[in-house]
Amino acid sequence: MNPPFAICHLPPERAVPIGVFDSGVGGLSVTREIMALLPVQPIIYLADQVHAPYGQRPITEIGVLSEGITRFLLAEGAGVIVIACNTASAAALHELRAHFPDVPFVGMEPAVKPAVEGTRSGQVGVIATAATFQGELFASLLDRYAGRVAIHTQVCAELVPLVEAGELDSPRARRAVEQYLAPLLAAEIDQLVLGCTHYPFLRPLIEDAAGAGVTIIDPAPAVARQTGRVLAQRGWLVESEARPANGANVEQRPRSHPPHRFYTTADPVRFETALRDLLGIQASVQQAVWQQDNTLLPAR
């Protein structure tokens, strides 16, 4: 995959990590896209599983949690913060940018624009959490695009807990997906937007239920590209291939994988299993612990 931006050949020892966070494992669907596009850029991932799912929490609480996580990732050395959670982006993106004006943030929003541009029936479906639909980001999307096509929304409260539990192909997960998609399919949608980063891990079930006539849209690849653009603008991208100092034309070999770091506020062993099952990687996971003042610290 060739990145759509110029690579700044920064040596690995000066690499600026990407901070990524979500309420749980859903943000790993974004992380895998970032890893594919930027294979040698280090990542620091925080899963706030002790508070998952965010979609059932008040927006004000999600804002407090997101600020604490941002401070944690910055303290760990992250330069850019990717909010790999539609719910947290809807609840806190504007406030985080105001509180941390010097920090570049990349947020998630349901990919309504490409769905509107691609629809033939004029019927677009969006599945997400209740908090995502209540946020200003989604209201802005409706203001811009709802007049052109019909946008049908569906809250899918059960899907995040199913993914967190590792039920990606269970009969219960299949029934839940079919139940949630039924009213959207009855409306004859031909575009379905995945408005939660957990949902791509259920994509085979979603595709089976939706049928061949419905295009599934996952915004994660676009978020990875935007992350790369932000890093490039700041001069923080690590070179992806070994290059001789004198510019000689020699065989170029990929560098070794960067030292990614993974944290969870819950059980590290459980998250290690999720990394293996969802991303196919073996990595140790450290625990981060919430303090009474809403700060987050690595467990000692």
Mind telling me the catalytic residues? Answer: 85, 196
Q: For residue 33, which amino acid is it?
A: E
Cis peptide bond prior to 204, omega within 30° of 0? no
Q: Kindly write down the DSSP assignment for every residue of 9-36, as one continuous string.
A: -B-GGGPPPEEEEESSSTTHHHHHHHHH
Q: Kindly write down the DSSP assignment for every residue of the chain, as one continuous string.
A: ---SSPPP-B-GGGPPPEEEEESSSTTHHHHHHHHHHSTTS-EEEEE-GGG--GGGS-HHHHHHHHHHHHHHHHHTT-SEEEE--HHHHHHHHHHHHHH-TTS-EE-----HHHHHHH-SSSEEEEEE-HHHHHSHHHHHHHHHHTTTSEEEEEE-TTHHHHHHTT-SS-HHHHHHHHHHHHHHHHTT-SEEEE-STTGGGGHHHHHHHH-TTSEEE--HHHHHHHHHHHHHHHT-PBPSB---TT-------BPPPP--EEEESS-HHHHHHHIIIII-----EEEEEE-TTS-EEE--
Contact 176, 159 (CB under 8 A): yes
What is the distance between the alpha carbons of residues 288 and 284, in angstroms, rounded to a whole number? 13
